[in-house]
Each structure stands twice: as C-alpha cells, then as structure tokens.
A and B are shown apart, each in its own frame.
Chain A
Amino acid sequence: MLKVDHLNVYYGVIHAIKNVSFEVNQGEIVALIGANGAGKTSIMHAVSGLVKPKSGIISFMGEDITKLHAHKIIARKLAQVPEGRRIFAQLTVQDNLEMGAYLRTDNKINEDLEKVYQRFPRLKERRNQLAGTLSGGEQQMLAMGRALMSKPTLLLLDEPSMGLSPILVNEIFDIIKSINKDGVTVLLVEQNANKALSIADRAYVLETGNVIVSGKAADVANDSKVREAYLG
C-alpha cells in the first residue's frame, strides 16, 4: 500500500534520513520506533509531502507521490496526525473537524462527524468550544478525529502518546486498534516502544536516520539490541 524506497532527506547539510526503505501493507499497523532525533518525524513529513526528499521514491497505492504537494497527497486518502497535534486552537472543535473534511464533497460528512463524536464523546460535549481550550488528551483525540474526517485509507500517527498520562496513553492506543479494525491501515511513529510494539503487526527501528532492525513486532520486541536500547 505504502512503499518507501531508499529515502534520503536533508535539512541543509544535515543528512537526516539515510537510505531508509520500508513498506506498509493494507490492513496492518506498522510501528516506526526510535529515540529523539532518529528521523521518525522527518519520514512522516516526507510521506505527507511537507518536506521534499533529496532522493528516493515514495509510492502509495502503486502511484509515485514523492513530488506531490501535501494537499494533493491527502486527496489520495493518506492522512497524518502530526506530532504535537497541531490542532487549530482559534477554531472550534467542530470547525476543526470540518477542516478535516475540507476536500470532501460527498453528502456523508455529517454522518462521519457523528461517527467521530461516537468514538470521542468528549469532543461532542465540547463541539462549540475553541480547540485551544481542550486538555492535551482531548486535543490528541481532536487531531485524530480531524484526520478521520478525511476518510483516510492510510493514517499516519506521529507520537500520539506524547505528553499524555499513562491512563490516556492506554485509551489512545485502544482507539488506534479500533480505528485499524474498522479498516484503516496505520503507520505509527512512537518513542513509547513498548506500547507501540504491543499493538503493531510489524515494526522498524530507526537510529540516526538508518533502519537498524525490522520485522514482526513480537520479534523486534525480543531483539537483544532493541531491548537494550529502548525497552529496558
């Protein structure tokens, strides 16, 4: 479904992503794990079109999307929940969700809005509140709801657990599993390796811009190098 082939991303002279290749198959949850600065977010931004890679090919559903603008990539039903949520603080909760459906012209938008409210009842209570007034966990739910409003087939989640309490982290991961069960393929970037590996089918471990370990999530979790570096 998503295939990243020999991706190289530079910021000026800094070589952030070095020849990274990975793929995500339909229906999977794939985790990209690694420490701060390993290049996880750069990969996400390259896939979504927010940064342009120097070389390499990113293809989605068999189509080369490497050079497409971000707003053309979301049109192909590849959505991202960015790191730090990046909700529109000055817009209401409902307006944020409406922005998620910005490109849709079908008549099922209200139906999907209700579905998002069913998944995240707290958002419904706060639908007319400015998004900036929500708590961290609610903002994460809003960011996920906003991405779901585009009816994605592939959802990129960048550090969904960042800054959340352990109880909320569990809640968010349960929601990710249920989104996946509803037929959305998930590519998950996490520092919380334990949590990510517990719900993922497969995983890739990044270190300073390179993939150092990859395989089934259970195997990655048992890899001695990974255990030493990330799982303690």
Chain B
Amino acid sequence: MALSAVTKSVSKFTYNTFFKRESVYFSTVVVGAVAFSIYFNSAVDNWWDNRNKGKQWKDIKDKYVKPAEE
C-alpha cells in the first residue's frame, strides 16, 4: 500500500515536472542526452584507460616529450 503510494507520487511528480509542458519535456530530453553522453563516455573511457594502463601513448609520452624551451 505504502509502496504504491510512493510510486504514484513519484510518477505524478515526474509527470508534472517534466512531461506536462512540451517545452520542458523537450529541454529535459536534450539536457538529459548531453549529460548522459558526457557521463557515459567519461565512465567508459576511465575504465578503458585503467584496463590498458601503461600501454597507450598517453601513458608513455612523458618519456619522449621534450620540455618546451622558454
């Protein structure tokens, strides 16, 4: 009983906040897509770099880049 009340209020809140007005809905989709792609890409990239640590160019390039002359 309590749980269904919670779900109901959550979906009501979601509907009223994000879905009710077309302008808000559209902005939610766009902002959500951008935020998700940033989060998802950085999460996978971090995992990937961690898994291949020491092998990629960015891990070894410090040995070869000459310090910039000033």
Query: Do these two chains interact?
Result: no
